[in-house]
Amino acid sequence: MKFKNIQTLFTITLIIFGMIQCSSALSAPMPDCLVINQSKKQCGYFWPGDEFSYYTPSAGWKIYESYGVTDEVGNATWQVSTPYGICSVNAFTDATIQECCRQLKLTYVGEVTGDYSKGMDRYQEISFWSTPLAKVIVAVSGIVILLGLVILAKGILKRKK
């Protein structure tokens, strides 16, 4: 193989390897949500889980998602739209969820527990990159990169002579 072909192969492999590495993402726990039990006219907060587990509210409870709103002056607030109206608070914490329940004229009950739905082992990620094919791609890419570096170094040394 000629030196230029090896350089091209090396460059392409570096790009592919870089794309593989850049596809990794960090996960974080989901934020608390406002939940309402319409039959009991109760309101509380609920933690839906994180990257390893997922919870659903107990029977009778429904999650209402919050969304950020910025007014014309630039003040940011969190709002939740429910059948009882829209509540607006500065941040979404336990205290502000209590304030939200008060705005909606519902009884605040604190944290609402949920049912465990699914989860995964902390050391096992279910994705393409944990499949045998991905491991082969990473291994082959690593070998090609090492070989490319060796050949590149030999080419540089040869040119210096």
3-state secondary structure the chain: CCHHHHHHHHHHHHHHHHHHHHCCCCCCCCCCEEEEECCCCEEEEECCECCCEEEEECCCCEEECEEEEECCCCCEEEEEEECCEEEEECCCCHHHHHHHHHHCCCEEEEECCEEEEEECCCCCCCCHHHCHHHHHHHHHHHHHHHHHHHHHHHHHHHHHC
Does one domain contain both 90 and 148? Answer: no
Q: 115 lies in which domain range?
A: 33-119
Q: Identify the residue with better confidence: 122 or 34.
A: 34
Does one domain contain both 76 and 94? Answer: yes
Per-residue pLDDT at 103: 92
Q: Work out the average pLDDT over 4-22.
A: 68
pLDDT range class, residue 129, cuts 50, 70, 90 = low
Rounded-to-integer distance, Cα 44 and Cα 60, Å: 12
- Residue-wise pLDDT for 65-81, tens only, equals 888 788 788 777 888 89
Q: Identify the residue with better confidence: 48 or 19.
A: 48
Number of folded domains in the chain?
A: 2
Per-residue pLDDT at 131: 67
Does one domain contain both 93 and 131? Answer: no
Rounded-to-integer distance, Cα 127 and Cα 14, Å: 22
Does one domain contain both 94 and 56? Answer: yes
Taking 80 as the threshold, does the pLDDT of residue 42 lie above it?
Answer: yes
Q: Work out the average pLDDT over 12-30.
A: 63
Does one domain contain both 141 and 66? Answer: no
Q: Which candidate, 158, 160, 151, 157, places its Cα nearest to that of 7?
A: 151
Does one domain contain both 135 and 64? Answer: no
Does one domain contain both 38 and 68? Answer: yes
1: number of Cβ within 10 Å: 8
Q: Work out the average pLDDT over 40-65.
A: 86
Does one domain contain both 41 and 109? Answer: yes
Does one domain contain both 17 and 61? Answer: no
Does one domain contain both 109 and 38? Answer: yes
Per-residue pLDDT at 76: 77
Token representation of residue 38: 């319409």
Does one domain contain both 102 and 87? Answer: yes
Does one domain contain both 37 and 109? Answer: yes
Tell me the average pLDDT of the chain. 77
Q: Identify the residue with better confidence: 54 or 40.
A: 40
Per-residue pLDDT at 109: 94
